[in-house]
Each structure stands twice: as C-alpha cells, then as structure tokens.
Amino acid sequence: MKNRLLWPLIALAALLVLNLVVTPSFFALRMQDGHLYGGLVDVLKNGAPTLLIALGMTLVIATRGIDLSVGAVAAIAGAVTCVHIGSSGDAGTAFVGMAIALVLCAVLGLWNGFLVAGLGIQPIIATLVLMTAGRGVAMLVTEGQIITVNNDPYRQVGAGFVVLPISILIALAVLGLVAFTTRKTALGMLIESVGVNPEASRLAGVKSKTIIWTVYVFAAVCAGIAGLMISSNVSAADANNAGLWIEMDAILAVVIGGTSLAGGRYSLTGTLLGALIIQTLTTTVYTIGVAPEVTLVFKAIVVIAVCLVQAPKARAALSFRKVAVS
Amino acid sequence: MTALAQRVPSRFLPVLATVILFVLAFGVGSVRYDGFASGQVIANLFIDNAFLIVLAAGMTFVILSGGIDLSVGSVVALSTMVTAAGLRAGWPVPLVIIAVLLIGSTLGLLMGLVIHKFDIQPFIVTLAGMFLARGLCFLISVESVSIKDTTFRDVATAVIELPGGVTITYNVIIALLVVLAALYVLHRTRFGRTVYAVGGNEQSALLMGLKTSRAKVGVYVISGFCSSLAGLLFSLYMLSGYGLHAVGMELDAIAAVVIGGTLLAGGVGYVLGGLVGVLVLGTIQTLISFQGTLSSWWTKIVIGVLLLVFIAVQRTMMRGRFRSLA
C-alpha cells in the first residue's frame, strides 16, 4: 500500500517544489478577517469539486464501472438550484433549491444504476447516454441562458469561509464519511469483491446489484454537490461549461491514485493525492505562465505515464530488464 | 412487410430498422413542413454532415474490433488547426493535406500500439489522445485562425450541379468515396475479415492464426486517418482552425455508429449502418430547425434517447441470441 502511494506523493512534492521555485511566496499563509489565504488554500479550494467527484468515481471504478455523466449531472444541479432561487435572496429558498437539485441527482444516479445493474449495459456506454442528454437537459432547465443569482447563503457553499473555505470543509467531510463507512464496515470489501467478480460475489451472498446501484447514486450525488460548489462560486449556472471535462479530471485523479480501472481495489488516500496533483498541476501551469489550455498536454502525458506504470505488461517488461541487468 | 422481414437475413435487421427510422423521420418532416421533401434538403444532409460520415466510417472499424476511440473530435480540431496554421504560414495546399493526414494516422498508430502492446483499455488511452490533441491545438494557437488561402476557399465554395438543380460540394464526394473504400476494406480484404473476427472473439481469432495484432493496431490507424480527413473536410466547411472546434463530436460519431446497428461489444455491424445513422442524426437536426420553436439543445436530448433505445434493443437481442445458443 505504501509503495503504491509513493509515486503520487513524489509527484505532488515535485510539483509543490517547482511552484516554490517559481513563486517563493507559494507556501505563505496569512489570516485576514478570520479567513485563511494562500497558495495552498487556493489549490485545495479549486480542487474541492474535482476531489468530490473523484471520490464518487473511485467507488464506481472499484466495481469495475465508470461514470462519464458526472459533468452533465453537475451542470444540472447548478442549473436547477439557480432556476429555483431566481431573484430570491433568502436562505430558505436556497436550501430548498439545493435539496431539490441533490434529490434530482440521486434520481439520475438511480437511472445510471438501472442501466448498468438492471439492464446490464457496459458502464461506459450506459453513462454516455446521460453525458450526451444531460447537458441538453441542463440547457432545457436554464432555457439556454446563463442564470445569475444574488443569494448570499447560496454563495457560501462555493465561496464562503469558516477560517478555511467552506468548499474544502465539505469535500473533506465527504472524504471522511466515505473513508469511515467503507473502511470501518464491510462495505468497502463488498464493493471490491463486486469489482473482482460480480457473479461470484452474488453467489457468495453479496447483493451485487444493490451495491452497483448504490455507488452510481453516490457518484451522482457527489457530482451534484460539486455542481453546487461550481455554480455557487460564481453565483451563476452555465449549462454549457459548468463541469465541462471534469469527468476526465476525476477519472485521472482516481487512476493517478493507484485505483485500477480493472476494478477490485481502491484507495481513497490515493484519490485525494490524485486530485491534489491535478489541481497543483493546473495551478503550476498558470503560475509558470503557459496558456492554461495547454494543461491538457500535460494531463495527457500524466495519464499515459500512469497507465504504463500500472499496466502489468509494462511492469513485466521493466522487471524483466531489471532481472537481466542484475 | 412480414414477407420482407423473412427474406432479409437477421444480421441485416438492425440496419434495416435504422433505415426505416430514417424514412419515418424524413416522412414526418415531409408531411408537416413545406419544402422539406426536396432533393436539396437531402443533399444538405450530406453537405452538413460529410465530416461526420467520414468519422463514423473510421469509428465503425474501431467499434467492430471491440474497441472505442474517444480522440476523434480532438483530432478533427487539431487537423483544422494544422490546416489553418499551415496555410497561414504559406505552405502549398498538397503539403498541408499530406501533413494533416500523416499527423492523424501517426496519432492513431501510437494509440493503437500502446493499447495493443501494453494491454491498456482503449478507453483510457484514447482519452489521453483526446487531451493530447486538444492541447496541441492550443500550443499552435489559442485563438481561432481563419483560412484565407484562395485555392482552399475555391474548393470549399465550389458546387457540383446534379440533375434536378440539386447542388452538392466536393466534401460529399470525398465522404462517399471514404464509405466505398471502407466497404471494400471491411468485406473484400483479409484485414477486414480479421477485424470482424477480433471483435467476435479475439482468442479464437488468434488461435485460428489470424494476424490479430495487425488488425487491432490497424483499426486505430484507420480511425486516426479518417479523423484527420474529417478534419480537412471540417476546415473546408468552417474555413477556420480552432482548438474548440468539434467539441463532443466523438459522441456524435459513436452515437451514429450505434444507431446504425453496430454492436458495441464488437464483431457485428456495417459501414452503411453508420452512414444511415449519420443521416438520422442530420434529419433530427433538420427537423428541429424546420420546427423553429424547439431549441437546438433538444437535439442532444433526442440523440441521447435514440442512443438509449438502440442500446436497449441490442441488449435484448444479445440475450435472445445467447438463450437460443444455450
């Protein structure tokens, strides 16, 4: 386990050192009006939605699935909440709006779970349906407009502070919750067993289908919360661009963290590290003054490198060479 | 009708269903809107979707072999960018065309080699390819680059008059030639038969002594080539190169192939199915634009629903087949 997390840790450390070299004040933290500011806090704050979605994605991937629809679901969550809030400024409306959005996300998760566990469609394809149609639905909700709201309680979710930014606290709370429920109970092991072999697990008495439904619902709700953060941070819902490509970032974070795409094992700490690496990478690209769009090239290189390191065939080739040398 | 159904071999039924869907959709349009049932509307279906026809042909190869290629949309964008930048730098048109096709095929070759040699899931490798190609676009230029070359513009605006006053562009001719070539390769060459065999059962194909590795890598080269050719057609259509061109086009291509009756599990399907799939998507778009009050995001929702219906039907057909085998 430690060995598996070594490389992500080294990568993260290297990125942080690079930032320190470019901007010496990167690690400086300062308190202002009871709020904590600084480069590291920014990384955490901007990485919170990715971390949340990656947490949901970790469990989905552990069952040998994948959820491509999370970006669209995030856009729907933001759109529904902002439309419900409208021009209202009071807290009640904001909370009702968020509750409606999250319930809706859970329903969308049920839908994905139904396609995968109920109909037995390959996860990539099953969630592709919602990925395509979901943005259309979000556009339908906002009627193609970017909806702006002016609601202070809602703004707190993505931009508020309780010493640390609230979005970080939410993401960490969800991380803690997942870690507790899956690692302190048998749930995590059951999820892994479904990932290794759903049929064998079913025969062994594990409710495979229920577990698959559950992880897709959880992933969708995580995506919903992330969507709320993204939309609340800018006090607007943009059906087209909110959460665009975030599913790719989330998958990347999970893979970097050492969770195998073949399912059967997962590491929440790894996912946390993966999400931090991605956000730090993005920040680094900004600070060293390369056009932000070029981040995609770096991400591509990271994906390929990580996959090659994970691939049994590549490992075999490497260890063979080591044996030959020694 | 039943007599017809009995005479048609069951393997053609999915394609036939798509053709009927196309005729129905077009029929509804012809009855409801004046001027819908004209030769030019049909010609426009081809003109506006020529690049998608080429993409779908390439994607058919990949899906038949049991893989998937998520990079096609980005490779289209990269091709428009290389075309625009190359022409701006004063390269002669033939050189630009060769460069674009080489880049696309090479990217495909690299992805195919990584997928095959290291046994990594096609989904994640082509995802990395998608990031890489988009990132490379932005490395060339972050802004949109317009194409001012006169030769290129002449080809783009040239029309061919067909009998009945219907006009088409050279794009359509190229797209149809690609479909013919794809038909020939799939059904009349050893490579094509191997692609079907690999998609049906890779292990059996290998044991039969077929050159499976060549087929597995080859389909990605073909898909890369088709993507870059589609990119050329797209730059003729848009007369500009931009890193945000063709976002999500991979989904349209996959949707067209699936609606055209190709099984996502591989091994079953036809190039012509993909062509009809593109025409169905195009007809839906035309219907929505003729309707006038429906907004364009309905297209996404309808495509999602169609995708779902076809996957569900595929699923039940597969189950039926296994039951009859047992």
**What CATH number does residue A58 fall under?**
1.10.3470
Contact A303 B119 (CB under 8 A): no
Segment A294-321 mean pLDDT: 75
Which one, of A261, A267, A256, A277, lies nearest residue A1 by Cα?
A: A267
pLDDT confidence of residue A40? 86
- Strand pairing category for A161-162 and A147-148: unpaired
Q: What is the 3-state secondary structure (H, E, C) of B168-212?
A: EEHHHHHHHHHHHHHHHHHHHCHHHHHHHHHHHCHHHHHHCCCCH
- C-alpha–C-alpha distance, residues A121 and A139, integer Å: 26
pLDDT confidence of residue A260? 81
pLDDT confidence of residue B86? 94
pLDDT confidence of residue A240? 82
Instruction: Tell me the pLDDT tens digit for each residue of B103-157.
Output: 999 999 999 999 999 888 888 899 889 889 998 998 898 889 999 888 888 888 8
Are A259 and A309 in contact, with CB atoms under 8 Å apart? no
pLDDT confidence of residue B248? 79
Contact A139 B121 (CB under 8 A): no
Residue B311 φ/ψ, nearest 5 degrees:
-65, -40
Domain total for chain A? 1
Smallest Cβ distance to A307: which of B120, B136, B138? Answer: B120
Instruction: Tell me the pLDDT tens digit for each residue of B23-65.
Output: 999 999 999 888 888 889 999 999 999 999 999 999 999 999 9
Domains of chain B with bracketed CATH:
10-321 (1.10.3470)
User: For residue A200, is it within any domain?
Assistant: yes
Q: Is the pLDDT of residue B321 over 80?
A: no
Are B309 and B51 in contact, with CB atoms under 8 Å apart? no
User: For residue A303, is it within any domain?
Assistant: no
Q: Find, in chain A, the residue whose alpha carbon is nearest to that of B309.
A: A129
Residue B260 φ/ψ, nearest 5 degrees:
-75, 5
Binning pLDDT at 50, 70 and 90, where does residue B17 land?
confident
Binning pLDDT at 50, 70 and 90, where does residue B5 land?
low
Q: Is the pLDDT of residue B279 over 90?
A: yes
- In this predicted model, which residue has the larger pLDDT, A257 or A1? A257
Which one, of A125, A37, A84, lies nearest residue A228 by Cα?
A: A84
User: For residue A313, is it within any domain?
Assistant: no
What residues in B contact A142, CB-CB < 8 Å? none
Give the number of other CB atoms < 10 A from CB of residue B306.
23
pLDDT confidence of residue B163? 84
Segment B292-308 mean pLDDT: 82
Question: Could you please report the per-residue DSSP string of A194-242?
Answer: HHH-HHHHHHTT--HHHHHHHHHHHHHHHHHHHHHHHHHHHTEE-TTTT
pLDDT confidence of residue A326? 43
User: For residue A318, is it within any domain?
Assistant: no
User: For residue A301, is it within any domain?
Assistant: no
Instruction: Tell me the pLDDT tens digit for each residue of A212-241.
Output: 999 999 999 999 999 999 999 999 998 888
Segment A165-181 mean pLDDT: 94
Contact A119 B123 (CB under 8 A): no
- In this predicted model, which residue has the larger pLDDT, B88 or A322? B88
Q: Find, in chain A, the residue whose alpha carbon is nearest to that of B248.
A: A132
- C-alpha–C-alpha distance, residues A48 and A276, integer Å: 9
- C-alpha–C-alpha distance, residues A122 and A120, integer Å: 7
Which one, of B194, B197, B213, B186, lies nearest residue B270 by Cα?
A: B186
90-149 in chain B: CB under 8 A from chain A: 114, 117-121, 123-125, 127-132, 134-139, 142
Q: What is the mean pLDDT of chain A?
A: 87
Percentage of the residues of chain B whose pLDDT score is greater than 70: 95
pLDDT confidence of residue A321? 54
- C-alpha–C-alpha distance, residues A116 and B308, integer Å: 12
Segment A123-133 mean pLDDT: 85
Contact A299 B297 (CB under 8 A): no
- C-alpha–C-alpha distance, residues B181 and A291, integer Å: 41
Binning pLDDT at 50, 70 and 90, where does residue B324 land?
very low
Question: Which residue range(s) make up the domain with A89?
Answer: 2-294
Non-local (6+) Cβ contacts of A10 within 8 A are none
User: For residue A54, is it within any domain?
Assistant: yes
H-assigned helices in A23-65? 39-62
pLDDT confidence of residue B192? 94
Quick one: CA dihedral A90, A94, A97, A99, positive or negative?
Answer: negative
Quote the pTM value.
Answer: 0.85
pLDDT confidence of residue A10? 86
What residues in A contact B295, CB-CB < 8 Å? 139-140, 143-144
Here the ipTM equals 0.78
User: For residue A299, is it within any domain?
Assistant: no
Hey, is the C-beta of B322 within 8 angstroms of any chain A C-beta? no
Are B194 and B205 in contact, with CB atoms under 8 Å apart? yes
Give the number of other CB atoms < 10 A from CB of residue B31.
9
User: For residue A314, is it within any domain?
Assistant: no
Percentage of the residues of chain B whose pLDDT score is greater than 90: 54
Q: What is the mean pLDDT of chain B?
A: 89
Q: Give the position of tokens 């994640």.
A: B124
Of A70-84, A257-271, A283-297, give the range with the top mean pLDDT: A70-84
Give the number of other CB atoms < 10 A from CB of residue B117.
16
Instruction: Tell me the pLDDT tens digit for each residue of A288-305.
Output: 877 777 888 888 888 888
- C-alpha–C-alpha distance, residues A252 and A246, integer Å: 10
- C-alpha–C-alpha distance, residues B214 and B194, integer Å: 9
Hey, is the C-beta of B295 within 8 angstroms of any chain A C-beta? yes
pLDDT confidence of residue A309? 77
List the single range of A159-163, A217-221, A306-310 with lowest mean pLDDT: A306-310
